[in-house]
Structure 1
Amino acid sequence: MTIGGAAEPGAVAVPRLAATVVMLRDSPDPAPGRSPLQVFLQRRVAGMAFAGGMTVFPGGGVDPGDRPDPAHWSGPDPAWWGRRLACEPELAGALVQAAVRETFEECGVLLAGPPEGGAALGPDLAPALAAGREDLVARRRTLADLLAATGLVLRSDLLRGWARWITPPASPRRYDTVFFTAIVPDGQQADAATTEAVEAAWWHPAAALERWQAGEIELMAPTLRTLQQVAAFADAASALAAAAERTITPVIPKVRRQGEQVVVVVPGDPEYATAVDHLSPGGRP
């Protein structure tokens, strides 16, 4: 993930644009009492400047190189995504490009496929994609460069918009982040091969929420709210289908305590004015 700039002392930081992908799958071996639906989560390195030690979905900041190449793009175009995300087409295209790039960098899942259709990536592409992933992380080339070199096209139809969250003003580093969802394409596997996380795995959303409530993992408000929402679905297909019905507007979240629970509140909730930017399950700020 690319880290945004920090605010000057006493100033409010300008949010940096970012994209996050809630990767979905149905567990091949569901745990007893759990639905098949799982999400991919990573626990970030504790010393990182933003969200250190937090358990998050893959994602990161929009880079200057995240400019879509129409010759290597398939599915809804930037103009369509601009209408969906309520922003300019150029920005929407960069957000989609960043979402695909960051997902590939951080967990090795590439939301792309051959131009003739399908999302299958042949084994003959494995060496080029492995080298390309390293180049992307090192910023030696862009995702558009990699797609051109491998003859693949970005599959924007594999993504669905979910939400848009803005870091509260009190944070010295802020992001304006679009949350997307996607199902891992057949034949691909998410991995933990990133230096930005100390562990990564597939979780049942309810299990992640239980671990958070027990104080065993830390979640930021947008991650918490998203897990609570996704946990309501029985399988990955249902969650992906529901994304198409969601209205996406920028939200600055806050949290409040309700008994032993920490509850995310958003503008319009009666308790929003008295809520705070962050609480742990145990009550620590």
Structure 2
Amino acid sequence: MSPATPEPAATVVLVRELGSGLEVYITRRHADLVFLGGFHVFPGGKVDPEDFSAAMLERCRNLDLKEAGASLGLFGEPERAMGFRVAGVREVFEETGVLLAQGNLMPPAGKLAGYRRELHAERRSFLSILEAFDLNLPMDRLLWFAHWVTPATSPRRFDTHFFAAPMPKGQEVAPFPEEISASGWERPAEAIEKWKRGEIKIIPPTLASLDFLSRFPDWVSLERHLQPEKLVRQGSAAAGVETASWAGKKGIVG
């Protein structure tokens, strides 16, 4: 039997500064979920066709299509490359209620929560929410740092780009209860120690992300390291990045 075709997906690590270091928002999926049930993961999911539609691309700001394509190594598919970023923003909103958007007037939290419920019920699209409040997506705030492909032996496979984004001021996390059984802010090194003690379950891409993010004392240093001009992809990897193996597959980590 041929391996399943990997589905395009995006993962976003929300990052905040607290005290003397960075914290990341990580969630535990319900144990009875078919895919990664009981594992600790970052918000993310599949890319939808709407994510790279013409109307959605008009809402993207601060990063042009050429830059988006170069940052992911998708030089001939810039619209698809931007779609990975949009998918990440949408999935963060669906799973956490945090909206990585900007506009003249951000909607009240209560009204936004109602729209989020309609999005989950498939009565409203993410694009329609942005249009309702005339919001745009500042794509320069999503910093690419890794690319992982699920092993060929897995019955369900994903081709996932990983991004880091700063937690917006004035917003609160509200995890989606149908998928998430527990969640919280963790220092990356502390999450790794919990995994070593067997307290939490983590897959290799999450572990590699935690290890990478543990190297930075604040957002400024992380942002400086992940400047787009330093991470323009050449073929399958950018100069100066390291690779980590996951069952024979390569994950590029900034």
Q: TM-score, normalised by structure 1?
A: 0.77
Aligned residue for 2:32?
A: 47
Distance 1:143 1:108 in 2: 12
1:211 matched residue in structure 2: 194
State the 1:52 CA deviation: 1.2
Report if the CA contact (8 A) 1:15-1:176 is conserved: yes
How far the C-alpha of 1:139 sits from its partner, in A, is 2.6
- Number of residue-to-residue matches in the alignment: 239
- Of residues 144, 153, 178, the one that matches 1:161 is 144
Question: Percent same amino acid among aligned pairs?
Answer: 39
Which has the greater radius of gyration?
A: 1
Cα distance per residue 1:234-259 (max 9 Å; x no partner): 1122223222234654778326xxxx
Equivalent runs, 1:76-225 vs 2, <5 Å: 76-87=63-74, 88-114=77-103, 122=106, 124-225=107-208
Query: C-alpha separation between the residues in 2 aligned to 1:165 and 1:40?
Result: 20
Which consecutive residues of structure 1, in runs of 5 or more, have no partner in the other structure?
Answer: 1-9, 256-263, 269-285
How far residue 108 of structure 1 moved from its aligned partner, in angstroms, is: 1.2
Q: Which has the higher contact order (CA 8 A, sep 6+)?
A: 2
CA shift, 1:11, in A, is: 3.1
Deviation at 1:267, TM superposition (A): 8.1
SS in 2 for 1:112: coil
Report the Cα distance in structure 2 between the residues aligned to 1:79 and 1:131, rounded to whole angstroms. 35
Distance of 2:189 and 2:171 partners within structure 1: 24
Quote the Cα distance in structure 2 between the aligned partners of 1:163 and 1:63: 20
1:24 alignment partner, one of 7, 11, 15 = 15
**Gaps (5+ residues) in structure 2?**
238-242
**Letter of the 1:224 counterpart:** L
